Amino acid sequence: MTKNAQLAPLAIVGMSCRVPGGDDVDEFWETLLAGRPAMGPVPAERLVGYDAEVAGEGGLTAALVSDVDTFDAGFFDVVGRMAVWMDPQQRLLLETTWRALESAGIAPSSLRGQEVGVFVGSSTSDFRDGMISTGVLDRYSLTGSIAAYLSNRVSNFFDLRGPSITVDTACSSGLSALALAASGLRAGDFDTAIVGGSNVYASGWLTGALAHMGALSPTGTCRPFSDDANGYVRGEGVLCFVVKRLDDALEAGDPVLAIIRGAAANHDGRAGGLVKTDSGSQARLLRRTLAQGDVDPASLGYLEAHAPGTKLDVEELNGLRELVREHAAGPVRFAGPGERLWIGTVKAVIGHLEGAAGTASLAKAVLVLGNGAIPTGAGILGMDGDLEIHDQPAEVAQGSVPWEPGDAPRRLGVSSFGIGGSNAHVVLEEPPAADSPDGSWGGTSMVFPISGTDDDALRRVAARLAEFVAGPTAPEPTATAWTLQTGRDHLTARAVVRASTNEELRAGLVLIAEGVDAPEETDPRVREWLGGGEIDWSKLWHHPPRRRVRLPGYPFLRTPYGIAPKTRKVAR
């Protein structure tokens, strides 16, 4: 295969996140639209090992997840002592993986024993650094702290037999993990990949080191592409995606969120230096990634830039100009609103997630395509056809720039550049229009099954789903029923609602959430399922729907386990 050969497209079919201002992707989108930076003071417990006299200015402001120390240990069969000694990144990766599979309408148990690849991008070891600085130790310290277990813990719990790799290319780790997954999928090494990115601010050593070298903003402000940019602001979060080959996803009826036309990584070599980026290497990477999908740069309408808020941000714009000039001798008509190429960065809102930065950018890009809008609240650039760049064009409305579907598919790029010179880029395209569920139920009212680990959890599931189906984005009832029947693991506590409309479904769910007993089920097959048995749901349909849809994720019971163990005693 030549380096410019077009490669088969891939599909993102599931996505979940825990980021500042976003417990799920819907909350994340609202945070992006609001555009208010989610930065604030760093609590003292996050600064163990930080020496202000050595570090100097910077690092005392960050974008943090409010309940990053919590975990539903019982759901994942983790005993309390082990949970205390688990890196919070491991805990959150388990939860976000479960929710990403739910987002894809894939029952986690359906993947057991299969060759599913797990690729997690992460570049920090705050949890282990904190233990080293305080001298704490436990029998669970090893499995709870080394980087390999960020991916290996996911593969172990879900019983996945494909490659399980933790990727560290510094700030480009998340997209580098996606590039590795894309290569494996295209080679046929596995049929499904779970791609994650994680970063949790759990100690002060790295903050001090970054501040001492001048990487962090001493004023605690992130100003991407600005003349007065003075360093980045740290952020934390965990994100997860489910990726398949596009043809397989469409055949399986998966909810395709975005198409991956290209995903690639490279390195600056000696062109950039140990801690500086290089515009020529970036142009080379973008050229290679676009070639994978036979994509013209002018067909892009948006770039989710790396741009952490340093003086080097301008190099990213220079690399983009270099790429476009190779393809056009004169003015370019870009495919974004107003024939511009719009440029933004998630870091202006949630900070720089370091090893998870690329996955945060990827999630924003998928949401841009899904919502038909480009957030502008935290600042946005517009590149005209002559490659001149305008900072926050005057005609831009506060909130977002509408970017509705047109005759040609909407496309965008996502960049992520590591401090050590490793770069990664992804080109996304909007998914094809979804077919109608086209399902035909075999009775008078459809069965909507829900479940939880116990009765309290069951009520939480019912309440969460009731709120969703009452909203404007609720799918057709047939698709919801089919997804609940075949796209979820069915847990111990079970209930069903019989309904024909979303209004009837919501009413039944509200009763379950309030603890009201449902009417006795008359179908013996459904009664068997309620008692813990299995059922072939397709037998209840005349014609099952052709696709599944995204529904709310499981409402975990979040118990605080701390950021890091606080005792100095060596436990045995």
pTM above 0.75, yes or no: yes
Going by pLDDT thresholds of 50, 70 and 90, the confidence category of residue 531 is very high
Q: Are 191 and 244 in contact (CB under 8 A)?
A: yes
**Token pair belonging to 313:** 């941000």
What pLDDT shows up at residue 395?
A: 57
Share of the chain above pLDDT 70, in %: 97
pLDDT digits (tens, 9 = 90+) for 278-330: 899 999 999 999 999 999 999 999 999 999 999 889 999 999 999 999 887 77
Within 8 A by CB and 6+ apart from 447, the residues are 481, 485, 496, 497, 498, 523, 526, 540
| Residue 451, strand partner residues | 494
Grade residue 397 by pLDDT with cuts at 50, 70 and 90.
Answer: low
Give the pLDDT confidence score for residue 396 in this predicted structure.
62
CA distances from 222 to 241, 313, 420 (A): 27, 12, 21
Mean pLDDT of 508-515: 97
Average confidence (pLDDT) over 151-163: 98
pLDDT, mean over the chain: 93
Q: Quick one: DSSP state of residue 271?
A: S
Higher pLDDT, 481 or 377: 481
Positive/negative CA dihedral, 403, 405, 406, 408? positive
For 359, the enclosing helix (H) or strand (E) is helix 357-371
Banded pLDDT at 1 (limits 50, 70, 90)? very low
Continuous segment of H or E residues that includes residue 455: helix 455-469
pLDDT for res 55:
85
Q: Is the pLDDT of residue 416 over 70?
A: yes
pLDDT at 35 over 80: yes
On the question of a common fold for 10-260+268-429 and 440-543, the answer reads: no
Transcribe 508-530 into DSSP letters: HHHHHHTTPPPPPP--HHHHHHH
Percent of the chain with pLDDT over 90: 81
Selecting from 3.30.1240.10, 3.40.1710.10, 3.40.50.720, 3.30.70.3290, what CATH number does the domain 440-543 have?
3.30.70.3290
N- to C-terminal Cα distance for the chain? 55
pLDDT of residue 440: 86
Superfamily of domain 10-260+268-429: Thiolase/Chalcone synthase (3.40.47.10)
Beta-sheet strands, E only, within 191-233: 192-199
Supply the pLDDT for residue 516.
94
Question: Which pLDDT band holds residue 401 (cuts at 50, 70, 90)?
Answer: very high
Q: Which residues pair with 417 in a beta bridge?
A: 423
| pLDDT digits 0-9 by tens, 442-472 | 777 999 999 999 999 999 999 999 999 999 9
Per-residue confidence at 571, pLDDT binned at 50, 70, 90? Answer: very low
Domain locations along the chain:
10-260+268-429, 440-543
**pLDDT tens by residue, 417-445:** 999 999 999 999 999 987 776 778 877 79
pLDDT of residue 93: 98
- Give the separation between CA 150 and CA 137, rounded to whole angstroms: 19
| pLDDT (mean) for 80-104 | 97
Task: Report the C-alpha gap between 346 and 307 in whole angstroms.
Answer: 9
Is residue 78's pLDDT more than 50? yes
Instruction: With a cut of 60, say whether residue 569 has pLDDT above it.
Output: no
Predicted confidence at residue 567, as pLDDT, reads 62
Does the pLDDT value for residue 256 go beyond 70?
yes
- 34 and 454 Cβ atoms separated by less than 8 Å: no
Rounded CA-CA distance 325/388 in Å is 12
Q: Does residue 393 have a pLDDT over 70?
A: no
